[in-house]
Amino acid sequence: MEITSLDLSILEEEFSKLEDGHVQKVYQRGEDLTIEIYVPGDEKKRLIIGTDKAFISKYKRDNPMKPPGFCMELRKHLGKVDRIEQKGFDRILVIESGDTKLICELFGRGNYILVKENKIIGALREEKWADREIRVGIDYEFPEPADDPRGKDYIGMLEEGELVRRLASDLSLGGTYAEEICHRLSLEKDMEVEELTEKQANALKQEIDRFLNPELSPILYRDELPKKGSTLPSQNLFKVS
């Protein structure tokens, strides 16, 4: 399952605990980065970033003896971690270190771009589209931002079409969460948005709000059962197979 905008918005709080830490080492294994960060008063943390994932791990990974060129660039330019944040509601993670930024684009094929004073000084891969280019030596431009549904009229943001597709696309929830929302409300995935009754639309607003503004930490289910000792109400849990 690819990381979604919603996932990244929730992870952002955890990643912020790495701020004021210092990058000690950077490893690159294929298209995965491991950034080892020492946080004063805490132990060393490992931020794992892939082209479709991002998380903190305590486990050491096997890494190539000889680091690739891009990895060496990261070691050279990343020092104190001043800020880690999601770009809007996009699948983009930005790590600021002095006048340098590591911009992790976690969509499509994925890419990592090293930017200094807005000039691209390194990238996992150079790419070009009709309206945008990633190339060393030119200014970096963020892709067209996705609509941020938080605090907005969710139903009003949905275009005409199948409900599950519109939830996934128009609200940037992704297919898995869109299907889960429909399942919880017993709504047919292929029903048309315009077929929603007022009661269904109100219930949908409330359920989307629970996803976008979670008050509880996700809990992992195993064999249809939540983690032992949990007393949280089941309707507020994320179910993971």
Q: What is the DSSP string of 148-194?
A: --TTS-HHHHPPSSBHHHHHHHHT--HHHHHHHHHHHTT--TTSBGG
Domain count, the chain: 2
For the chain, the average pLDDT equals 89
Please state the rounded mean pLDDT for residues 141-154. 92
Do residue 77 and residue 165 come from a single domain? Answer: no
* Phi-psi category of residue 94: left, alpha or beta, with phi > 0 → left and psi -120 to 50 → alpha: beta
3-state secondary structure (DSSP) of residue 113: strand
Q: What is the pLDDT of residue 222?
A: 72
Q: Is residue 85 part of a domain?
A: yes
**Inter-residue contact 74 to 122 (CB < 8 Å):** yes
pLDDT at 234 over 60: no
Specify the pTM: 0.84
**Inter-residue contact 133 to 127 (CB < 8 Å):** yes
Residue 172's alpha-carbon distances to 2, 106, 149, 211, in angstroms, are 12, 13, 8, 12
State percent of the chain over pLDDT 70: 90
Q: Is residue 147 part of a domain?
A: no
**pLDDT confidence bin for 62, thresholds 50/70/90:** confident
Distance of CA 75 to the CA centre of its chain: 23
Q: What is the pLDDT of residue 2?
A: 80
Q: Is residue 70 part of a domain?
A: yes
Q: What is the pLDDT of residue 230?
A: 46
> What domain range includes position 179?
154-235
Do residue 162 and residue 218 come from a single domain? Answer: yes
**Inter-residue contact 23 to 97 (CB < 8 Å):** yes
Q: Which of 29-38, 77-86, 181-190, 223-232 has the lowest mean pLDDT?
A: 223-232
Do residue 26 and residue 76 come from a single domain? Answer: yes
Distance of CA 2 to the CA centre of its chain: 9
